[in-house]
Amino acid sequence: MRCYLDPLLWLIATYVALLFLLPHSGALFGWLFPEQPRPLYQQESFVTLTLAHLLLVGVSSLAATLLGVGLGVAVTRPAGAEFRQLVETIAAAGQTFPPVAVLAIAVPVMGFGREPAIIALILYGLLPVLQGTLAGLASVPQGVKEVAKGVGMSDAQRLFKVELPLAAPVILAGIRTSTIVNIGTAAIASTVGANTLGTPIIMGLSGFNTAYVVQGAILVGLAAIIVDRAFDRLERVMTRNAG
């Protein structure tokens, strides 16, 4: 377990150090970008932006997970099988529809801020979770389900005690993909007034300030790596337990 834990801790420690060192790195970015009169983003705290970014990703990813797993389970039951193609089509359309377009539609209805961004991220993160759920449940051996039925388990017991535990590693892989995608995509929420790590990136792009872009991008990228490594550890544990 140590070989998985230590690198993750180092990544987290590096991230925390960056959060507190960036506000004092004006001289470094001034040297890297001498053409910029204000090379360090100082409008808001990087700690505040990071917490807001992770909250946005956490809420949207949790909603996408609950919705994706719920729909995946529903359409694999006999009562919902006829809706499977429709659900998959709608979920695929949600991911192919650009998040910026979703924001443009949601803002006039919901106003500026976090809410339209959450809607866009849920739609964008739904498909990987749904696909992972469908693939995971399909991977459960038919013989195992028949044995569970033979020992007198109800439909609900077979689902929660047999199918979902065996499908969990594959479902988790879909949740992992969805969450990592949302970490990067959440940066565009700053275009509709939500505070995220995309704020310095958007300001840097609009003001031709590459230093701001680099500062925001470093924190977004490292956050995605940390979450990905955490999911990797969890997947390994679940795969061993499933085996």
The dihedrals phi and psi of 2, each to the nearest 5 degrees, come to -60, -40
**What secondary structure does DSSP assign to 14-50, as a single string?**
HHHHHHHHGGG-HHHHHHH-TT-SS-S--SS-HHHHH
Q: Does residue 103 carry a pLDDT above 80?
A: no
Higher pLDDT, residue 242 or 41: 41
Residues 131-157: tens digit of each pLDDT: 999 988 888 888 888 888 888 888 888
Per-residue confidence (pLDDT) for residue 193, from 0 to 100: 77
Confidence of residue 243 (pLDDT cuts 50, 70, 90): low
241 confidence band (pLDDT: 50, 70, 90): low
Q: What is the pLDDT of residue 242?
A: 56
Read off the pLDDT of residues 11-47 as tens digits, 9 standing for 90 and up: 999 999 999 999 999 999 999 999 999 999 999 999 9
Quick one: tokens of 136? Answer: 């995971």
4 band by pLDDT with thresholds 50, 70 and 90 = very low
Which residues lie below 8 Å from residue 7, measured CB to CB, with a gap of 6+? Answer: 229
- The per-residue pLDDT for 227 is 95
Q: Rounded to an integer, what distance in angstroms lies between the CA atom of residue 93 and that of residue 78?
A: 24
Q: Where are the domains of the chain?
A: 2-19+44-242
210-239 mean pLDDT: 91
Confidence of residue 67 (pLDDT cuts 50, 70, 90): very high
Torsion of CA 142, 148, 152, 156, to 10 degrees: -90
Q: How much is the pLDDT for 17?
A: 94
Half-sphere exposure of 159 (CA within 13 A, CB side): 12
C-alpha distances (whole Å) from 166 to each of 37, 99, 140, 150, 233 are 57, 33, 6, 18, 17
pLDDT in tens, 191-207: 887 889 999 999 999 88
Distance CA 62, CA 54 (A): 12
Q: Domain spanning 2-19+44-242 has what CATH number?
A: 1.10.3720.10
CA distances for 8 relative to 122, 169, 215, 227, 228, angstroms: 27, 20, 21, 9, 10
DSSP assignment string, 56-125: HHHHHHHHHHHHHHHHHHHHTSGGGGGGHHHHHHHHHHHHHS-HHHHHHHHHHHH-SSHHHHHHHHHHHH
Burial class of residue 103 (count of CB atoms within 10 Å of its CB; 0-12, 13-18, 19+): buried
Q: In residues, how long is the chain?
A: 243
